[in-house]
Amino acid sequence: MRHLTLYRHDRYYASFPAAATLADGTVAVVFRRARDQRWFARALGLTDQTGLMSVDHVDSRSQHVLLRLDGRTLEPLAEPVVLPPDGEAADQDANLLTLPDGRLLLTGFSWYPLAPRLAEAVRAAGGPLVGTADDSGLFLFWGGYARLGDPQARTWTPHTFLPPLPGQSDLLAGVRPHHGGALRGRGVLLPDGGVLQAVYAGGTHGKRGSHLFRADPDGADGYAWRVVGPIAHDAAGMGCLVEPALLRTRNGRLLAFHRTAGMGDQMALSASPDDGRTWAPWRLTTVVGHPFDPLPLPDGRVFLAYGYRHAPYGIRARIYDPDTQQPEDGKEIVLRDDGPGPDLGYPWATVLADGRVLVVYYFAGEDGIRRIDATVMDAPI
């Protein structure tokens, strides 16, 4: 294995990457980039003792950035490019899927920032403050969305927001629906040309769980999205099943790999025999990490990569046959165990044109700057 730093900048917090190998052998990496205002504090000679040296996972200027790599050397082919943003909201996690015609499906979700005084007024009026907060104010969940990129990942359609989940209250009644849910995880292609993508949201059961959407070509170079139904949630109320990633096995089973909260960071696994119309009860596995990216290998096995936010911090993976084995049957491979703390991970893997596997993720150095790193196998798996 060889480790690389693909992107690092003193003034940005880079995280949550996704990768796809394009038809010409190059690699597209899309990641979330946001301001890291600690550079300003450092320039003034301030230290951690001031309480100013911290960063968060929300920012009003959060954006998606595209980095193109040479598929052989993995060197950047050009400077990173900012994808056209939503004019109102900040982009968060990115997910990539290569469509049959070579185009890229990019899914993600966004936050809408509210100034502190307005947030207080909305709260006093009983408004839907359903997001998160940082020092600049409060953020509303603005919705899950999809957009299409051309086969060279150079042009992108505008954000198309997903339809609401049944039972999910509007963000603003009669004005702004609660579009879909948050997305972090691989989608899958179906034999009939459809696309499945999982999201996580509260829904009618309170605790966050996972839900399935389907997209079909609509005849106008786009895709029409609809809700399929729920995948899994914790009826016992112990925790949440979030950040689901999908895999369709050679035998046609659909699997959903969930990060959990309140369950010891153990992976939850769901299985469907009919492409998500029905699901067997989920089970808690002994695989510890989050979240999970199940890369299908050419021979039908899966390369399951995940962040490991327990000492020693880093990135891990397992390889197994999902039709004949369970995730626990795959021997754990430690890709990295040199992380300085738990704020790292979110790996995404892709098979390169020569058969090697590239795993991209975000990592932190001893300087605390979050960057996009990668591990590449020295031979096909």
pTM for this structure? 0.94
Q: Which CATH number fits domain 2-377: 3.40.50.1000, 2.120.10.10, 3.40.50.1220, 2.60.120.1440?
A: 2.120.10.10
Q: How far is CA 229 from the centre of its chain?
A: 20
Conformation bin of residue 179: beta by default, left when phi > 0, alpha when psi is -120 to 50: beta
If pLDDT is split at 50, 70 and 90, which confidence band does 264 have? very high
Least confident of 16-30, 207-221, 337-351: 207-221
Q: How high is the pLDDT of residue 206?
A: 46
Average pLDDT of the segment spanning 246-267: 96
CA gyration radius for the chain? 20
Average pLDDT of the residues of the chain = 91
Q: How high is the pLDDT of residue 205?
A: 39
Average pLDDT of the segment spanning 180-200: 96
Conformation bin of residue 213: beta by default, left when phi > 0, alpha when psi is -120 to 50: beta
d(CA 280, CA 292): 20
Task: List the one residue out of 32, 20, 162 whose CA is nearest residue 105.
Answer: 20
Q: How high is the pLDDT of residue 171?
A: 81
Average pLDDT of the segment spanning 121-130: 68
d(CA 352, CA 106): 19
- DSSP character at residue 176: B
Q: Answer whether residue 265 shows pLDDT above 70.
A: yes
Specify the DSSP element, H or E, that contains 120: helix 116-124
Q: Read off the amino acid at residue 116.
A: P
State whether residue 49 is helix, strand or coil: helix
